[in-house]
A = this chain, B = another copy of it.
Amino acid sequence: MEDALVDKSVDKEFPVFSPGLEGVIAATSSICDLSDTGDILYRGYSIQDLAKNATYEEVAYLLLLGKLPNRKELKKFTSELARKRALPDGVASIIHKLPKNSHPMDVLRTGVSLLGLYDGKHQETSKEANLERAKNLIAQVPVLLTDFYRYARVLKSIGADKTLNNAENLLYMLTGKHPNDLSAKVFNVSMILYAEHELNASTFSARVTASTLTDIYSTITSAIGTLRGPLHGGANEAVAKMLLEIGDVSKAEAWVRAALSRKQRVMGFGHRIHRTAEDPRSAIIKRYARELGENTGKTKWYDICTAIEDEMHKQKNLYPNLDLYTAVVYLLMGIPIELYTPIFVCSRLAGWSAHVIEQQENNRLIRPRSIYTGPKNLQYLQLDERS
């Protein structure tokens, strides 16, 4: 039938409408706990511990399978992901025919959709089948991204390095150089912090899509198109552009005041969920941004950010979110700004996939209602009777 299963539940009264579904519960989930204490927990584990100790693979395993892997399981999972990186020939050849000026987010949306066409069993939606495809996507999407990027910039094409883990290999394929230990660590931390965040818009879109029991490629394609918007994944790119515009710490305070006085939103601050306290991810990435700045002898971006942070706290009582200091980290690593949101995609794939699996394991079609506010019972007039 068109869009729903019949069920036996009685008709309920419509609750009060909450714009943007703010505060509305849309799922039960055992993946991410945005706890009242201000911490974020993935499957019960604090992101403080995960960021400090784990690789992205470890976190992806945790999100997808619900437990931390032991040494043997992690080794197997890590080498499995490393082996799965190659793109199907058909996909690789199409990626190299796209307009070079394409936005990488559009390329990823198209590329993930294309990957579905080259997977003969993509319509299977069992937990095992979804899990297998989630691993493929976590392995292949970074290669989609770097392959397109190097082709678009007419850089020498680089194959994946099987000895590197996911974060290291992504940095390597972007820059063409093996990252040093600090860069690899910080990049890995940023991928862990971006890996999951409950029912944010892109994850929710993936779950809505998944709820028709469609294939996982469709769900991740939805999520990428949703993350692409400036109110979601685009924010870390906007922060970097702001930092470049400000250019010097001496100008930060005045820049913020001027922006606020013309009602311009200052990016990298505030969060619908982390409203009354700092985004716990911000403190983590801030420490690494500082360390990376000191290590590279370029503290300028970090200093501008702390000045902005002070002023925003004074003027608006707002706290930074994850995007503010992540932009510092990516600027210091020399990552092109238009790749920030695509890197967010590479990271969030683990969370999205975990939600798709969870949705389809205990599925119910997501089909809300709207309140009709238009005209009623208009009389249909024949063409020549209309004004």
A residues whose Cβ falls under 8 Å from a Cβ of B? 1-7, 9, 11-35, 41, 43-46, 49-50, 53, 66, 68-71, 74, 90, 93-94, 97-99, 102-103, 106-107, 109-110, 113-114, 116-118, 122-123, 197-202, 204-205, 208-209, 211-215, 217-219, 221-222, 224-235, 265, 267-273, 275, 318, 321-323, 364-378, 380-384, 386-387
Known contacts being A118-B99, A378-B44, is A204 close to B366, with CB within 8 Å? yes
Q: Complex Cα distance A290/B120, Å?
A: 38
Q: Are B218 and A228 in contact (CB under 8 A)?
A: yes
Give every chain B residue within 8 A of A226 (Cβ-Cβ): 208-209, 212, 214, 218, 222
A3 near B272: Cβ-Cβ < 8 Å: yes
Closest 10 CB pairs of A and B: A212-B229, A218-B225, A30-B374, A4-B272, A6-B270, A214-B229, A49-B380, A3-B200, A26-B368, A20-B364
Contacts A/B (CB < 8 Å), 16 sampled? A1-B270, A1-B321, A2-B197, A2-B200, A2-B232, A4-B272, A9-B22, A16-B25, A21-B26, A28-B370, A34-B372, A41-B377, A94-B97, A110-B110, A208-B226, A214-B232
User: Is the CB–CB distance between A365 and B102 below 8 Å?
Assistant: no
B218–A365 CB distance below 8 A? no
- Tell me, rounded to whole Å, the shortest Cβ–Cβ distance linking A50 to chain B: 7
Contacts of A1 in B (CB 8 A): 235, 267-271, 321-323
- In contact, A74 and B222 (Cβ under 8 angstroms): no
Chain A contact surface mostly: loop
Contact of A116 among B106, B209, B217, B232 (CB under 8 A): B106
Q: Which of A13, A49, A205, A386 has the most CB of B within 10 A?
A: A205
Q: Which residues of B contact A227 (CB under 8 A)?
A: 212
**With A and B bound together, what is the CA distance between A35 and B371 in angstroms?**
11
- State A194–B162 Cα separation when bound (angstroms): 49
The residue from B21, B70, B225, B229 contacting A368, defined by CB atoms under 8 A apart? B21
Cβ-closest chain B residue relative to A383? B71
Q: How far is the CB of A346 from chain B (nearest CB, A)?
A: 15
CB contacts (< 8 Å) of A323 on chain B: these are 1-2
B221 and A225 contact, CB distance less than 8 A: yes
Inter-subunit contact A201/B366 (CB<8 Å): yes
Chain B proximity of A14: nearest CB distance (Å):
5
Q: How far is the CB of A97 from chain B (nearest CB, A)?
A: 7
Contacts of A123 in B (CB 8 A): 103
Give A386 to B65 CA distance when docked, in angstroms: 15
Indicate whether A114 sits within 8 Å of B118 (C-beta atoms), given known contacts A222-B205, A366-B20, A369-B198. Answer: no
Minimum C-beta distance from A298 to chain B (A)? 25
Taking a contact as CB atoms closer than 8 A, the residue among B110, B229, B373 that contacts A28 in the complex is B373
A269 to B2 CA separation, bound complex (whole angstroms):
9
* A41 to B374 alpha-carbon distance, docked (Å): 10
Identity of the chain B residue whose Cβ is nearest the Cβ of A27 in the assembled complex = B370
Q: Which of A18, A25, A106, A225 counts the most B-chain CB atoms under 10 A from its CB?
A: A225
